[in-house]
């Protein structure tokens, strides 16, 4: 059965988005050109222009799609410091997060690009700053610990991104220490004195 025009268009957009994310991960922002994306997606430059007004619009859509992938599965409620750290690490520890690092870096150097990518970047910022009902970041000590832990995890994730997607040798011990300290904070906040 022949596909409809709408189905063919959706397939082309999906191929362009997948190609863009793969290139961001493999080659970085500067090498993710319209020509490279079209070659990877096996489509013409005309197809790219038909679906996106420019490469920046495609890359913004690719980041939005990546964000949707990260949040598609039901995420457990963030009710403790340990669960906050686990949620952040699930996002930034994913090898595809390298594409986000590439976008953040490029947007920091190009105001027009920053404006185009702002909605996608803002959504990713939410992934690394979870809060909500029963917010475990409510007291100043917890908030300070979270900020330190988040920056450490972003550093580990950036290290992975620059290490071919492989974990750094010290990654496990750092994550274990962060989780242990988070559990201690959780125990203090629940008043069980660390008897978890």
Residue 65 lies in a domain: yes
Cβ atoms 120, 64 nearer than 8 A? yes
Residue 185 lies in a domain: yes
DSSP codes, 146-166 = HHHHHHHHHHHHHHHHTTTTP
Residue 178 lies in a domain: yes
φ, ψ for residue 12 (rounded to 5)? -65, -45
The CATH number given to whatever domain includes residue 183 is 1.10.357.10
The domain tally of the chain equals 1
Give Cβ neighbours of residue 188 (< 8 Å, ≥ 6 apart).
194
DSSP 167: P
Residue 138 lies in a domain: yes
Residue 196 lies in a domain: no
Residue 195 lies in a domain: no
Q: Say if pTM beats, i.e. exceeds, 0.75.
A: yes
Q: Show the domain range for 30.
A: 5-190
How far is 189 from 145, CA to CA, in rounded Å? 13
The pLDDT tens digits along the chain (196 residues) read 777 888 889 999 999 999 999 999 999 999 999 999 999 999 999 999 999 999 999 999 999 999 988 887 656 666 788 988 998 898 899 999 999 999 999 999 899 989 999 998 888 888 787 654 346 567 788 889 999 999 999 999 999 999 888 899 999 999 999 999 999 998 887 765 544 4
Residue 123 lies in a domain: yes
């Amino acid at each position: 059965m022949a596909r409809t025009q709408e189905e063919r268009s959706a397939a082309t957009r999906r191929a362009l988005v997948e190609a863009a994310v793969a290139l961001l991960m493999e080659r970085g922002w500067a090498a993710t050109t319209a020509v490279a994306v079209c070659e990877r997606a096996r489509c013409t430059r005309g197809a790219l222009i038909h679906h996106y007004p420019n490469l920046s619009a495609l890359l913004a859509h690719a980041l939005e799609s990546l964000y949707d992938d990260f949040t598609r599965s039901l995420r457990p409620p963030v009710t403790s410091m340990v669960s906050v750290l686990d949620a952040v690490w699930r996002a930034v520890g994913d090898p595809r997060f390298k594409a986000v690092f590439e976008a953040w870096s490029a947007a920091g150097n190009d105001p027009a690009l920053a404006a185009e990518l702002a909605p996608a970047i803002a959504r990713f910022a939410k992934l690394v700053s979870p809060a909500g009902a029963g917010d475990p970041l409510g007291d100043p000590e917890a908030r300070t610990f979270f900020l330190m832990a988040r920056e450490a995890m972003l550093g580990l994730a950036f290290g992975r991104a620059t290490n071919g997607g492989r974990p750094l040798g010290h990654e496990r011990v750092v994550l274990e220490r962060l989780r242990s300290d988070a559990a201690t904070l959780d125990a203090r906040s629940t008043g069980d004195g660390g008897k978890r």
